[in-house]
Chains A and B, each alone.
Chain A
Amino acid sequence: MSDDLETLREQTVQALAAATDLREWDAVRVGTLGKSGRLTALLKELGRMTPDERRTRGGALNRLRDELSRLIEARGQELETAALNARLAAERVDVTLPCAPDAQGLLHPITRTIEEMAAIFGSMGFQLAEGPDIESDWHNFSALNTPAHHPARTDQDTFYLPAEASGQPERVLRTQTSGVQIRTMLGQEPPIRIIAPGRTYRADHDATHSPMFHQCEGLVIEKGITLGHLKGCLSDFLRAFFQMPDLPVRFRASYFPFTEPSMEIDIGWSRRTGQIGTGGDWLEVLGAGMVHPRVLANCGLDAREWQGFAFGMGIERLTMLRHGIPDLRSFYESDVRWLRHYGTSPLSPAMLHEGL
């Protein structure tokens, strides 16, 4: 390589090393390889040379151009990386700062329990039925074999609303969701498998009673349904709900006007610790029975042809047992601290295949 080319190379290398930012680097690049760059100028001179000179000089110039291009490119990348690193360093933030919180919305435990009941009974072929909170006396009592003078009526402290028209009996806030049974039997032909969760009302207010609470009623009317099915269905439900395949379940004879035979159903628990499933004590959780022939007749079903069973359970009660919630009143107080504690995520609905 001739001296002038060597000088150019040397000076360019130095200039590149001296360039501290991309602007300076670009000046070197343009000064060397640009239109009026020094190397470009030397290349232009080639045209005026003899073929021999051109061959020799041209080869050297091309090699120099390739080398300088490579060096310039490499230095450019180096500076670019340095510039990026400098920018990123300047952009550094305290990543431990909190992010803007998403408010966590949750479903009420009563909603959750109703969903679980729907999932479990749904798997047994039940459908979810609904009815009005304000019922006629007939739907809430008379159709259910509970005439006005019946002693069972004094056990239920009923809220009354004015009659729809004078001379008619006063309307009631339903004391049980059994009215939905009646509506279902009147509204469709058997076979019937329904559950009816909903609000119910009784004039009672203390630590263990609320004037409004929720019940889930169930009704099965089919040919060939016996008390054995009642026991199987409700044992299956309770064991699924409490997720205990061996949950002790006891059936005790009892009385309700709308079923016969009637029974109350206890589960095993420990009175001392509140733990479900063990402990040797019994806790009542359900009332049930075979649908009374008179109730069937009141709804136009012939007891010689159809029979079945009905049951009712307190949704708050089962929820309290399931989750160890101590106070009934807290369900209705809308205290955000309580709701956040016992609420469930809307993203994990009750689904049997995911587990309840």
Chain B
Amino acid sequence: MILKNIFIEALRSLWGSKQRTVLAIVGIIIGIGSVITMVSVGTIVQEEVLNQFREMGTDILTFTKGKETNTGRGLKVGLRLADSLNLPESCPDVKNTAPYTHLNGTLKFGGKRMEIPALGITESFKNINKLTLTEGRFISDLDVFMYYCVIGEDVVKKLQKLGVTDLVGTKVNYKDRLFSIIGVVAGVSENKIRPGDINRGILIPVTTAMRISSNHEVEKVIAKLTPKGDGKAAVSQIKRYYKTVANGLSVQVQTAEELIRQMQTQMRMFTLLLGIIGCISLIVGGVGVMNVMLVSVSERKKEIGIRRALGARQQDIRRQFLAESVILCCAGGIIGIMIGIGASYVVARFFDWGFLISNIAVVLGVTVSFVAGVFFGFYPARQAARLNPIDALRAE
């Protein structure tokens, strides 16, 4: 009964000094709002990353040449195209491979020049990266040394701007060689396994790319496991394979699982960092509430004195002020949660991520604001309760 009255009294008193209430609440709103935004955005990003892997599948790994390359004697050998294409025959857990290499160059068309990347690829690149074509055909393994290219969506837009309507069959000049467009690849999202230049650049036969750059090695190989393939087994098979065929070449393998784990660790660090920032702003907000409550106590000394004279115990006074600071903080917390959810929605829309409301964030926000209310209200409430009734009555 008394508690209910204390609650109503606290609400009335806060309503009675609206300006002060609003000022006190602002800090908490910002604090809780940023904590919620950070936790929500963190969750959204993590979900987004995991979604990418769900799309690509986790039965994929990539490898590059290791740092300490050839440990054997004799000729140093790199990541040769033939070795990577023959790899599945010697590694039972690997189904197929997609070696690729990377070029930068100028594409000239209709008097315009544009700097775009090119990826030298094999036929298997399409399926491993789950690419689809909107027009024409993909690079075939029969297109050895051919000047054919498949173009990404950004290049499509640029060419369309220049008035090209029939993309397939059009010839473009890339690195001073004339390429025929044979297909158009649909836009794909970027991720840790898929090379990022699919949308931005052109895809050409890996043999052609190696000839243009006079390079005898591929840069990176994407490998897909057999349906029952084991990631760890595949890694050791690949390493053993290169030791044998490439004169002791060491390779650095990254599995999808490993990438997910790395990313989760990064996310955890990110969330922790943002959490700390949020906590600091929450402490600043809480100190603001404490300050406002202390002002309120000294302004209402007389009221405290009257209540004490009428029989309020110290405990009643303490609870009354504590209720005010808890209500302040919780109100700030709820507004903060709404702002935080709104802000994370805006962020998610901006980066085109799937939006979701993190339950943890909401529960965390409410709990934290309640605890902040008790924590930062305790000292002022104790001050109020400890006032001598006679001195309090005399106060003006």
Partners in one complex: no
A residues apposed to B, CB below 8 Å: none
B residues apposed to A, CB below 8 Å: none
